[in-house]
A = this chain, B = another copy of it.
Amino acid sequence: MSKNKQEDIFQAAMQLFAERGYDGTTVPMIANKAKVGAGTIYRYFENKESLVNALFVKCVEQFFEVIRTNFPQDADVRQQFNHIFRRMFVFAKENSNALQFINSHDEGYYLDEKSNQTFEDFLDFFRAVIENGKNQGVIRSLPSHAHIAIVYGAFGMLFSLIQSGRMEETPELLNELEDSLWNAIRII
């Protein structure tokens, strides 16, 4: 039995939102999985929308933190890409539902300004890396948006495969995938 009910609620909500979406998840479902009373959720969050927004911000910031930590600011773009790619998998593995939650909930009509801004800030980090790579003549001259869409879109689906057991994560696989996606964005 966890001491921190707020965290229990976050975990339960994240899993359910990831599996069934925002509207497909009921507050009693969350309470039940978190092993708290339904009313308790309203001690920690104003309402369901508040909860999903708080959770979204928390997840994106955690993801961001994992990516940013020890980021090789001065290394070359290839190494920066390596860092990002590996950290994305690290985060996804350690927070299996968080990634799916983020991916299926960005663009949700229930996200507030802060949530959207947090996600934009997160993307901006990648944009900066990409822009830097383009300036160095290493990365294709596509819009940064496009590069991010390619890597992030591919990554989301790839992790989903691993998560569901349809593909096994091995060091060799990760090497191949990293190489594949690097080829997608670099100038050849």
The answer to the question of A122 belonging to the interface, with a C-beta cut-off of 8 Å to chain B, is no
User: A184 touches which one: B143, B149, B183 (CB < 8 A)?
Assistant: B183
The answer to the question of A160 belonging to the interface, with a C-beta cut-off of 8 Å to chain B, is yes
* Chain A contact residue count (CB 8 A cutoff): 38
The answer to the question of A150 belonging to the interface, with a C-beta cut-off of 8 Å to chain B, is yes
Q: List the B side residues contacting A149 at CB < 8 Å.
A: 154, 157-158, 160-161
Partner-contacting stretch, out of A3-11, A20-28, A129-137: A20-28
Task: Give A contacts to B, CB under 8 Å.
Answer: 19-24, 104, 109, 140-143, 145-146, 148-158, 160-161, 166-167, 173, 176-177, 180-181, 183-185, 188
User: A146 touches which one: B19, B23, B150, B161 (CB < 8 A)?
Assistant: B161
